[in-house]
Structure 1
């Protein structure tokens, strides 16, 4: 798998029924999951880029249309004037691409120059689905709830992905939700 010798990893929090979003927002607020996301997608370095993320337009807008701190964001959209609309022309921390292949190619090139091993795919539904064919590793936070009125869902994992690491079940007092972190990688035994 991988893309131009760079690991492609996906990270998401999903409900029991695979929901990842509702009204272009996360369906919950779990501080430990947000910290987990930040620590996974940011590599501590003295200087330079600390992470690279790829996302769709709706995911970018759900974050206030602002690039994540210390990371370079690649936003995939079919809207040709999106960079102009959002004031991203000439930015060095956010790039607009019009398909996933361009985002992956540019992100892999940037990763090599920045000495980063991983490109993170962070959503949404379509980008996750389209990126599965390139994905080496998947980091899912399994949230113990069903979201019946969700409108964005994580794809079913192909059988080639197996659990390689799993945290203990944890509980978030504020949201009163239980969750665990799970790592999936491609089964190389086949």
Structure 2
């Protein structure tokens, strides 16, 4: 457990060339991957059910805006932006399901405090490129969907996985019926020292 005794996990879908986004959107639509994402980020079923929340996610402003500036349901959403008036100008002030913070440290600190109160074991970092990169030093686990494709003109990329992580699980390859894309789920964990 690397941040105030709470597991920090990253989750992303990446192409062969590590692309995670193009024009502030996912470069593909794989419904089973979206279901996988939802299942993992709302996994806190044994915690306080009274809150209505089943997970905590941290993301950058562009990732939030790529979701039509709507918080993910059943999750407490932390949005990182340098825009000091972002919460006020976007009608996000005083909400329980969205907290606007101005740096990763504040996001992690507030998210872990909330996780302790709700008895959640994990907080999820869900993007984008800069947030993934900056959060790697605090990350215990990485859940990747490896999509067997290359993206032309992709503009957001997942960072190289550091050597202190090892692959601990991998699913069989699956094919998305609509797109025809092949993909598999892979889990990495930080090596214990």
**Secondary structure in structure 2 of the residue aligned to 1:47:** helix
**TM-score of the superposed pair, with normalisation by structure 2:** 0.96
Segments ≥4 residues shifted beyond 2 Å: 43-47
Q: Give runs of aligned pairs for residues 41-190 of structure 1, distance below 5 A.
A: 41-43=41-43, 44=45, 46-48=49-51, 49-188=53-192
**Secondary structure in structure 2 of the residue aligned to 1:105:** helix
- Alpha-carbon displacement from aligned partner over 1:126-168 (angstroms, at most 9, x marks no partner): 0000000000000000000000210000000111111001000
**Secondary structure in structure 2 of the residue aligned to 1:66:** coil
Deviation at 1:47, TM superposition (A): 3.0
After alignment, is 176-185 or 40-49 more displaced? 40-49
CA distance in 2, matches of 1:101, 1:107: 10
- Alpha-carbon displacement from aligned partner over 1:45-102 (angstroms, at most 9, x marks no partner): 5432210000000000000101110000000000001001210001010000000000
Gaps of 5+ in 1: none
After alignment, is 57-66 or 39-48 more displaced? 39-48
Matched pairs, number: 189
Tell me how large the CA RMSD over aligned residues is. Answer: 0.9
| 2:17 corresponding residue in structure 1 | 17
